[in-house]
Amino acid sequence: QQQVKQSPQSLIVQKGGISIINCAYENTAFDYFPWYQQFPGKGPALLIAIRPDVSEKKEGRFTISFNKSAKQFSLHIMDSQPGDSATYFCAASGSGSARQLTFGSGTQLTVLP
Amino acid sequence: GAGVSQSPSNKVTEKGKDVELRCDPISGHTALYWYRQSLGQGLEFLIYFQGNSAPDKSGLPSDRFSAERTGGSVSTLTIQRTQQEDSAVYLCASRQTGGANTGELFFGEGSRLTVL
């Protein structure tokens, strides 16, 4: 059972545009929602994360929007740059010591110069 | 080292052979995870170690897969009698626990396994 559904699978955006990636989850026990960025040949790295007590978190050009009632969250990349071209994974985990992250299937973002 | 170190970075093996993949986590990180990333796919949880507790093996896909963590530090993932469907990138991650825990996983660069 896929617990975190991510879309789109791939995304092409012009430089300066807004990139939007969406995720939906099923498990209402999830309370931590990070986004990871992965460049080719590298491991994923944490980009930004949110907890359900807020509806939005912004760090520079990256914003997470969170809708608890809809069980959805999204990543917005403002003023997208070619250097943002990477694969983005949303993830979710529950409370407790395990924190086993359940990852979405990933979105390959290409920002055209 | 400063980050999570994995070896080998690339491994090509023949079907039926056993392979061992190594992970050296960030010093002081007591939590260690193994994930598998197949081509174009997300990250599939395999196993989780936390201190001296029994590991959570719930993600291991078959009994051909096993992992151990010696001395609470280095971990080895072993795949016996490899099959072509085992071809993937195997990622190791570590995390702080306790008061400094932000939930962030720090990943290594992975071991790319190709089974011919």
CA distances from A108 to A68, A73, A102, A113 (A): 25, 17, 18, 16
Q: What does the block give as tokens for B81? A: 């009698």
Residue B42 to residue A106, Cβ atoms within 8 A: yes
Measured distance CA(A32)–CA(A51) in Å, rounded: 5
Q: Assign A80 to helix, strand or coil.
A: coil
Give A51-94 pLDDT, tens digit per residue: 888 999 999 999 999 999 999 999 999 999 999 999 999 999 88
pLDDT at A96 (0 to 100): 56
Q: CA of A38 to nearest chain B CA: how many angstroms apart? A: 10
pLDDT at B99 (0 to 100): 59
Closest residue, chain A, to B57 (C-alpha): A100
From chain A, the residues in CB contact with B45 under 8 A are 100-102
Give B21-66 pLDDT, tens digit per residue: 999 999 988 899 999 999 877 899 999 998 888 899 989 999 999 9
Q: Assign B109 to helix, strand or coil.
A: coil
Residue of A7, A101, A102, A108 to mutate, interface with B, max B Cβ within 10 Å: A101
Residue B107 to residue A106, Cβ atoms within 8 A: no
Computed over every residue of chain A, the mean pLDDT equals 91
Res A97 pLDDT > 50: no
Between chain A and chain B, how many beta carbons pairs sit less than 8 Å apart?
A: 51
Q: CA of A105 to nearest chain B CA: how many angstroms apart? A: 4
Which among A85, A101, A89 has a CA at the least distance from the CA of A31?
A101
Stronger pLDDT, A31 or A112, i.e. the higher one? A112
From chain A, the residues in CB contact with B103 under 8 A are 32, 34, 49, 93, 99
Residue of B24, B43, B60, B111 to mutate, interface with A, max A Cβ within 10 Å: B43
Give B62-104 pLDDT, tens digit per residue: 999 999 998 879 999 999 999 999 999 999 999 887 655 567 8
- Residue B10 pairs in a beta bridge with B112
Res A98 pLDDT > 60: no
pLDDT at B71 (0 to 100): 81
Q: Under 8 Å CB-to-CB from B85, ≥6 apart: which residues? A: B115
- Residue B90 pairs in a beta bridge with B36, B111
| Residue type at position A70 | A
